[in-house]
Amino acid sequence: MREIVILIPDLETEQNVLIDVSVNGRKKAVQYRVELITSEEIANSGVDRVTVLKHKLENRDKDWELVEIGAPGEKGIPLTFRKVLSETAPLQDSVSRGQSSD
């Protein structure tokens, strides 16, 4: 899937964004979700943050595609996931192609 960058306000963790996209008549509904591996979760795990991240990704819902691992911050490491909810075929517009409907 090609990428289009859309700036959205900061999201709280565990929130979803639903975006409807239309390209050349093909429509897609795409949902994004942000999860946070908290600093506390990393500290309490007894392992390094790479291992915590790897475990989190291995156990995620496979319907969701990992889009981005954000930069670690004070609160933790943000993970952004994407899921295509629906996709429709391009609209057939025979009139615009010079074809008659006879």
| 67 part of a folded domain | yes
- Is residue 1 situated within a structural domain? no
Within a domain: 25? yes
Does residue 30 form part of some domain?
Answer: yes
Q: What is the pLDDT along the chain (102 residues), one digit of tens a residue?
A: 567 777 766 666 667 777 888 878 888 888 888 888 988 998 999 999 899 999 999 998 899 999 989 888 888 898 889 888 877 766 555 444 444 444
pLDDT of residue 18: 78
**Alpha helices by DSSP H, the chain:** 39-45, 49-58
Q: Which domain holds residue 25?
A: 16-87
pLDDT of residue 52: 93
Q: Structural domain tally of the chain?
A: 1
In a domain, 3, yes or no: no
Which amino acid would we find at residue 89? A
Is there a domain that residue 23 lies in? yes
Would you say residue 96 lies in a domain? no
Alpha carbon 71 to its chain centroid, in Å, reads 17
